[in-house]
Structure 1
């Protein structure tokens, strides 16, 4: 009865082996059929790689050390990796990507003067996108020197910020006065500018049109700022108050900041 058993075992194993080969072959055909389709679909999606965008650099003039000569202040934005000027933003990317890349390259930003006697003003050691605003405010305190106002473009998702008024004194830049603001109180920047929603920054709008950038530059240079001298050591500020979204009050420079 069992003399033919080896023969049946061989037959069963042969059939099983054939079935296994056939299944694997079918799987390979299926994979070879699907993969080109997936690749083609990914290729046809048209996703563009992020493109570096230089971003605007502020340049202002004035007599900042009281020597009677015109000085020029220039914003710089350096990569902490190569220690050279670098781009601030990326086109074809969302704000999360801008934020991530900024923290990766550890940028540092500062303001330099064409007069080597005036020391550079450090904007920030930590990751920022440079400046949102820079302006010559004129001589606010009557010391014969022009003061400047600046707003840092923090690498965060908040629209809360500070408007700082700086003066050059004792061979260095010191904070004369500051007040809280909403970033959307400031004009848009040419080439790349923050976009704001109900809960803060929604993203960065990249402007590739020369005509639009020229218009934005004109609006920026004609913007009067958020501080204005009303008398010696007194200024009118437009700030973010506790009671309402935006308020206007007259303050004394000696107080250094409004009631908080």
Structure 2
């Protein structure tokens, strides 16, 4: 019996060796099996939503003929030459980018087609920050108009221009420098009749936009008549933040 002991030992070692190799091979197969690739979900990018923006509409006798006219602000896409939105529901950088890419421009049109429109400068703007009928400031029988451009930039410096209709065209009667924060913030929407575009933009104002519209309606402006060819203005002074002075319209602008 003991003579066969070496034989049994060899058999046992062989069997153990085979089991070990089989186990190692199984491990190797399991380790090298390719993993299933799971594609990560892409982050959804929200498409910017157009925001119409406010449009000014004022009335008055601008040519001095005794008849009331209406001036309406328009904002156009320079590529399509159609009325378009001023803003998007994203950041201000995107608004500026789109204003330049679309070559946007704005103008003030009169319902009396014999009165020329006022082109708002500079181009690539967001229309107007302010528009008001100032009444007859120079005594010529026609109402003057003040307007401020909503420039597509980051500066708070701006100009307050008083326009008058003379000899068939609009000219600057007087202008003065202002801070944009001197004017009320505009609502982003409003009920406006865009007659030249053949449609009416009607939206429901939320609480914030209704408050801004009320503030705009109550705002008295930065100009008040102070006598014959004289006005009182609230302007950006070189000495202090803002100042109030009485000036002559014949000077065309305050001391700078």
Give the TM-score taking structure 1 as reference length: 0.78
Unaligned runs of 5+ in 2: 1-27, 190-203
Q: Give the aligned partner of residue 162 of structure 1.
A: 159
2:251 aligned residue (238, 244, 255): 255
Alpha-carbon shift at residue 48 of structure 1 (Å): 2.8
Map residues 91-240 of structure 1 onto 2, 5 A cutoff: 91=89, 93-124=90-121, 126-191=123-188, 209-240=205-236
- Contact 2:59–2:68 under 8 Å retained in 1: yes
Give the length in aligned residue pairs.
Answer: 214
Q: CA RMSD in A?
A: 2.0
Q: Give the aligned partner of residue 82 of structure 2.
A: 84
Higher strand proportion, which one? 1
Map residues 32-43 of structure 1 onto 2, 5 A cutoff: 32-33=37-38, 35-36=39-40, 39=41, 42-43=43-44
Give the TM-score taking structure 2 as reference length: 0.79
- Contact 1:77–1:130 under 8 Å retained in 2: yes
Distance 1:163 1:231 in 2: 20
- Contact 2:229–2:248 under 8 Å retained in 1: yes
Distance 1:63 1:245 in 2: 35
Unaligned runs of 5+ in 1: 1-18, 193-207
Q: List, as ranges, runs of 4+ consecutive aligned residues in structure 1 with deviation greater than 4 Å.
A: none
Q: Give the aligned partner of residue 53 of structure 2.
A: 55
- Contact 1:128–1:154 under 8 Å retained in 2: yes
- Contact 1:237–1:251 under 8 Å retained in 2: yes
Cα-to-partner distance string for 1:101-131 (whole Å, 9 max, x where unaligned): 1100001111111111111111136200000
Change (3 A) 1:125 1:161: closer
- Contact 1:161–1:181 under 8 Å retained in 2: yes
